[in-house]
Structure 1
Amino acid sequence: MTSNGHTNGNGTLPLALSAEDNDLVLPGQGKLEGMTFASNDQIEAAVSTILTNIGEDPAREGLQRTPYRVAKMYAELTAGYHVDPVALINDAIFSVDYDEMVLVKDIDFYSLCEHHMLPFMGRVHVAYIPNGKVIGLSKIPRIVETYARRLQVQERMTVEIANFINDALHPQGVAVVAEGVHMCSVMRGVKKANAKMVTSAMRGVFRKDARTRAEFMSHIDHD
């Protein structure tokens, strides 16, 4: 029995774990750590044009290096385009005699909304039930980060994370829930600072078996 009164189908506990200047990155590399980010002349020119057209002076002291900084920022925030998720995990899949739920929850993420290029951020919870294979603990947050650090919509990001883990491990099931706060609805438009978006993607037994899905949801329930 878990602390909130839920167990796996056979009465055992799940394995629950809580996540705690060079050239632009090269395509196909297998990690985000250690990347360095360069500016881009075309992005710098575009930012300078934006500053001019909103009535600012790109030459004034506080803005002189803003185009450079913004260009480097976008290289960093979209670095997920340049990471091969297969290379990311290819040395961290292990055979194991374990067929209960593995849960990594409270994985912090940030991303950019593809509609307004404003940030959205929050937490992702990922669970799977192995089918003879498990993945190294650190790889799941890195998978999340790889798909988050792109221009995204939260719905697609959630599905991409679930599909990748499902294809990589062929588990009995995968569950992903993302909770996000979107600056495009906080700072503009409806201006609802407390609105939170929740998206989910269920595969295998999490989609077919209501008890398994309910157990997963009970573990990530923060209320």
Structure 2
Amino acid sequence: MVKSVTPVTSNHLKGSRNPRISELTEESKTIRLAKLADAVKTIIECLGEDTTREGLQRTPERYAQAMLYFTKGYEESVDALVNEAIFHEDHHELVIVKDINVSSLCEHHLVPFTGKIHIGYIPNQYVLGLSKLSRLAEMFARRLQVQERITKQLASAITEVLNPRGVGVIMEASHLCMVMRGVEKTQSMTITSCMLGSMQSDTKIRDEFIMLLRGTRS
């Protein structure tokens, strides 16, 4: 018997919004922006630069605003993004959305990593609006993250929202912390995956998912 599926609440999912951020007043947001800008100014000064010179005068504020945009996923939640876009549909084959471009910030170095996410799932009487898959991927990416966590959080969220027969998420990304520092491998690509349900237990389904991503099918 298939259980009834309804949109989840923000308290239900681990990937929900941060209440300390989402509930800020406009005054609190202004104060937060100023604190961020002051912190950035301190960093620039510690590097030996002059924050009063023309090119850097507004950099602290610009960077603070950019950082808030890069991490806007903290202000969003799964239930708000899904917004009841769950539909009953008698479809039993794979649903795939591939090549979702995302950008995130490495939580270890606060530098970007960018790449693509591929999502596939097998419905269990219910499907999710296709655009919602991309928006969920964007929400989890727009936080301080590691690639492995994004992959797992996205697969888990889809599972909790839809109760599908199986879910697969694959992410390919290039990390600037590997390109610009450390090993400095400019051509390296990191690939992570999370397979749940039949996508994990049934190798035929998993292989079909991967073949369809590659554009081939036996």
Normalised by the shorter chain, which TM-score bucket? 0.7 to 0.9
Deviation per residue, 1:135-193 (Å, 9 max, x gap)? 00100000000000000000001000000000000000000000000000000000000
After superposition, residues 61-100 of structure 1 pair within 5 angstroms as 61-100=54-93
1:158–1:200 Cα contact (<8 Å) kept: yes
1:107 counterpart (92, 100, 106): 100
Distance 2:152 2:33 in 1: 31
Shift of 1:222: 7.1
Distance 1:203 1:164 in 2: 11
Shift of 1:86: 1.1
1:205 counterpart (186, 198, 209): 198
| Structure 1 or 2: more helix by fraction | 2
2:182 counterpart (169, 186, 189): 189
Q: Report SS of the residue matched to 1:127.
A: strand
Q: Report SS of the residue matched to 1:175.
A: strand
Which residues of structure 2 form unaligned runs of 5+?
Answer: 1-19, 24-28
Q: What residue is the counterpart of 1:177 in the other structure?
A: 170
Shift of 1:41: 1.1
**What is the root-mean-square deviation of aligned Cα atoms in Å?**
1.7
Q: TM-score, normalised by structure 2?
A: 0.84
- The one-letter amino acid of 2:160's match is D
Q: What residue is the counterpart of 2:22 in the other structure?
A: 27
Distance 1:99 1:220 in 2: 18
Distance 1:222 1:72 in 2: 40
Distance 2:73 2:186 in 1: 27
1:27–1:84 Cα contact (<8 Å) kept: no
Shift of 1:91: 2.0
Overall identity of the aligned pairs, in %: 46
Q: Report SS of the residue matched to 2:22.
A: coil
Q: TM-score, normalised by structure 1?
A: 0.82
Q: Report SS of the residue matched to 1:106.
A: strand
Instruction: Kindly report structure 1 stretches of 4+ aligned residues shifted beyond 4 Å.
Output: none
Q: Report SS of the residue matched to 2:208.
A: helix
Q: What residue is the counterpart of 2:26 in the other structure?
A: none
Which residues of structure 1 form unaligned runs of 5+?
Answer: 1-24, 29-36
1:120 counterpart (113, 120, 142): 113
Distance 2:145 2:198 in 1: 27
The number of residue pairs the alignment matches comes to: 191
